Amino acid sequence: MSEKVLQTLGEFIIDKQEDFQYTTGELSRLLSAIRLASKVVNREVNKAGIADIIGKAGNTNIQGEDQQKLDVLANEIFIAALSQREVVCGIASEENDDFIDVKCGPNGHMSKYVVLIDPLDGSSNIDVNVSVGSIFSIYRRISEPGTPVELRDFLQKGTEQVAAGYVVYGSSTMIVYTTGNGVNGFTLDPSLGTYYLSHPNMTFPESGKIYSINEGNYLKFPQGVKNYLKYCQMIEGDRPYTSRYIGSLVSDFHRNMIKGGIYMYPSYANAPHGKLRLLYECNPMAFLAEQAGGKATDGFNRILDLEPTELHQRVPFFCGSKNMVEKAEEFMRIDATQD
C-alpha cells in the first residue's frame, strides 16, 4: 500500500495564489517569511527548559506588562524574518511602543503590505511548559506605495484584513491561517522541518460544551457575563458545560474551534475596556472565527466592524461557536436594558 502524499504549506500557498485578491506573489512570500519565523520560534520554545530564556526579561511593554525573555526573542525573530525578506513596508508588534517603518525594494517602501503581530501569546505559561502561540494579521497599506508607512495603514478595521492566522506551539506545532477563503491547518514535521496540511477546511461546530474564561475575576464581571456563566453551569438539556481555560488565547481558541466552545475575555473592574488588543489578537482571531463559521463580538458589536483608534487599543472579546456567542450576547443585551 502506497503512503498518502501530504501537501506542504509551501505547495498549498502556491496552489491557492489565485484566491488572493491581488495575485502578485508578494503575499505568498510574506506568508513564507512567517512560516520561517515560526520554525525558529518553535525551536527556541522547545529548548526553553535547557537554555537561559525562561523568566522575565526585566522590561515592561507599552501595556505595563512584564516581558518574558521569550517575548523579546520571539519579537526579534518575527521582525527580522519579515524585514530582511523585504516583503512588508511596516510592522506593528504588541511588544513595541510604535510601528516599524520598513524599506522594501530598490526604491524603498514598495511593498503593499503591513503586518501586525503578537509574537508570543501566553508567554507567562512558558516556564510551566504549557502551550503558547503567535498571532499575525496582514493588511494592504492605504498610504501611497513608495512613501514611508503611516499610522493609518495599521488602524484599519478587521474587515480589511487580507490574511490572518496563528501558530500554536504545543504537543505538535501548527500554523492555522486564512486568506478569506476558509481556514486550513498545517502541522510541523520536526524531523523534516516541513509543515504539512493536516486540518483542511477547519470549522467551528455551531454549538459546543466548553466555555473558556478566567473565573477568578467573576466578582468583577458585568452582570450579563455572570448570568451567562450561571446559564452554562445550569443542569438542563446538554448543560452544564465544561470549563476549560489555558490562559493562552491561541490554545483556547484552537481547542474550541476543534471541539466547539466559547472564549470570553470581558471587561471587568481592573480592565474596563477588556484586556485583549483589538489589532494584535481580536481582529485576526475574529477573521479566523468567521471564516470557520464561528462568531466574534465585543458582547454587542461585531469585532471586525470596530474602528481602531490606537495601536494598542483593548476591547472585550467573545469568540467561538456561533450559537454560544449569540447566547452570551443575549445575556449582555438583557443586562444593558436593565441598567
Annotation: binding site for Mg(2+): 94, 118, 120-121, 281
Contact (CB, 8 A) for 114 and 139: yes
Label the pairing between strands 261-265 and 242-243. unpaired
Q: How far apart are CA 162 and CA 113, in angstroms?
A: 9
Strand partners, 178: 164, 183
Label the pairing between strands 56-60 and 66-68. antiparallel
Give CA 235 to chain center in angstroms: 33
Strand partners, 239: 236
Q: Which residue numbers belong to the known binding site?
A: 94, 118, 120-124, 214, 245, 275, 281
Q: Which residue numbers belong to the known binding site for substrate?
A: 121-124, 214, 245, 275
Contact (CB, 8 A) for 114 and 91: yes
Q: Which of 247, 215, 244 minimizes the C-alpha distance to 228? A: 215
Burial of 313 (0-12, 13-18, 19+ CB in 10 A): middle
